[in-house]
Chains A and B, each alone.
Chain A
């Protein structure tokens, strides 16, 4: 002990030196916020592992089944905010049974005991019930932020619990989340008096709300910056909210049309929507327009010049109507559209939005075999006008290698490239060749690319390009592509950073599956549906890799009447690394090997 040497004056009383080291470490590690850095720090030695675990306040769980709540809470005792992701992305497209899992219950139960000071919960693709929300509201006195993305299983009763009991609630954001109508007026559940609300997003909630209560809530929430309304809010009601909250920075406009219950003819004639928007000098993000009446669009002109983000992806407007808006939007960085704006609309974007970073173009008619309004022309125009583009999601009916190659050259900063040619196995529209060269150019020229989704007619050559050049690719989505096992092998052997691999309807089998065995412990998951893997092949993988959970999903009749059954009686292989034993909450249609 330090006291042995009497002449020394130790810094902190009788603390042994290694504890001093720990304290110093903890103090320093507190400043590490990036989780990858923290993961690295925790691997240095036991001392650092311990100190890092004690100082991690933000916990990210990329797969809710990779680690149990008990293990997580035991290792990290001082967590204040938690991110949990559940289902894999292909579940969004009805490829997974509805009751597959990803339940919030075990997590909220464990955290209610372990983290009574918890402030923030972010869930993506999880299932939660009203009871879970009630438990959350009861357990965490200082709860501040709840964000639910692509979640389901609860209703307005659960929302009411949160609204009424979480007195320090700053953020309640529901995005693309299903909310059951429990006939509960949750907006009225917010307490009287001033609230600390900063963000309220409920644009996906498909039930009517008590507008008077909402008006009152907005009026007594001086910190409110983000408000995203659902389509049951009419433009007239929007006006009444805007004049009460001109400090908004993010606005979801709701329906942006007249309600059907017009009381009097002059109801809408006298409202000066233009001025109401003009008063919102801080508005930078606009969305909604779910049932837009195009004649009202000019009222947003005053805010266009400041907009950095615009979501028109539910907005059915023609190119002319769109152009008259977009010409004002010079600062735009994020833009989501419906393809009703046509190639012409995209040309207008290319001309006006020189700062564009992210573009998403969704189809109004998600069918195959039809004439689409956007094509390679729009993509080429965007590539020429928006050189700073980092992320693109583009649905179309026809495409050419030339346009894709042009984008790879014009937009070298691309990090995310997702092209969905909706007709399966569609070749280059002009040359009738496969789309191999286009995607090849993307991986070759876009040195920062981390996320790629491919489509159209693709041979194994495309995958050899991806394996050869896609060294930073973390997420890869493949559908109806490739010729043989070599395609998948190229990717599994060539892409060292691959984390998430989702494949459907492609001719990859057991040999290819084996080729990736050395990778699977370093990946978050592998999804293969309607491919050529056999039950036997999956069993071999499961047997030789004890920390890999190999799930085989079967379709029940009601769920997916159009899917063909394999000889092996499963349609989806979903496998992921995990520290735990087989989960016990899987439904009957799931076999875990």
Chain B
């Protein structure tokens, strides 16, 4: 019993008010909510006229709005995602790099757009499909092994080069025409 005064009963007191508030005003937050609602109900009558007028105006606006005008933020896809996926579509700024392709022993030439390929493997595969041949294995030291046919190209200087020696980007800017040579001619 001697301890009672020291037990700081206020600290452990259970009240309806929030314990964080030091003052003894027990109104708390909930009461002010209810006041607001009562206010709302009493002022409803005056407001409703204004609101319904606004609604009429808006109805009219809605019906005259074009059906499928472009809308901001719809569908709800973030710009980052949209930007990541768009580049896959047509790139209209860059024109194609069309060059002639000839193959020894074939009477007609073909034309291809170098821009559609991402690298050498794709280009070679297409050439192989187009002319029905196999280019063989490429290595830096020995060129194309294991095949009669060798892909070559004429560069800006007029020299005939082996396809694959230079970086791809350099290749597509310097290549003027392609020639698939028959091995026996080399």
Contacts and interface: CB of A to CB of B under 8 A. Distances in A.
Interface of A: 1-2, 4-5, 16-18, 21, 42-50, 75, 90, 92-95, 176, 178, 204, 231, 257-258, 260-266, 268-269, 290, 293, 313-314, 316, 338, 362-364, 366-369, 395, 420, 422, 424, 479, 504-505, 507, 509-511, 514, 517-518, 521, 532, 534, 536-537, 540, 544-547, 560, 562-564, 567
B120 A265 contact: yes
Contacts of B80: 176, 178, 204
A563 B121 CA distance: 48
Contact of B72 (A44, A257, A563): A563
A293 B120 CA distance: 14
21 contacts: A17-B6, A45-B14, A48-B19, A75-B20, A90-B73, A93-B72, A94-B79, A258-B118, A264-B140, A264-B164, A268-B121, A314-B84, A395-B77, A420-B75, A424-B71, A504-B73, A511-B44, A514-B40, A521-B33, A562-B70, A563-B72
A367 B71 CA distance: 10
Contact of B164 (A261, A265, A268): A265
Interface residues of B, number: 67
A399 to B, nearest CB: 13
Contact of B138 (A176, A266, A505, A532): A266
A313 B85 CA distance: 10
A80 B167 CA distance: 52
Interface string B49-63: 011001101100110
Contacts of B54: 509, 532, 534, 567
B100 to A, nearest CB: 22
Interface of A, helix, strand, loop or mixed by DSSP: loop
B88 A261 contact: no
Nearest to A369: B68
Give the 10 A-B residue pairs with the shortest CB-CB distance, closest first.
A93-B73, A265-B164, A544-B36, A47-B11, A49-B19, A18-B8, A366-B77, A422-B75, A46-B11, A265-B138
B125 to A, nearest CB: 10
Contacts of A364: 85, 88
Given A18-B6, A509-B55, A518-B37, A547 B76 contact: no
Contacts of B164: 264-265
A18 B51 CA distance: 58
B184 interface: no
A423 to B, nearest CB: 9
Contacts of A313: 81
Nearest to B85: A364
A546 B2 contact: no
B132 interface: no
Most chain A CB inside 10 Å of its own CB: which residue of B11, B62, B78, B167:
B11
Given A511-B51, A537-B51, A540-B47, A517 B36 contact: yes
A369 B68 CA distance: 9
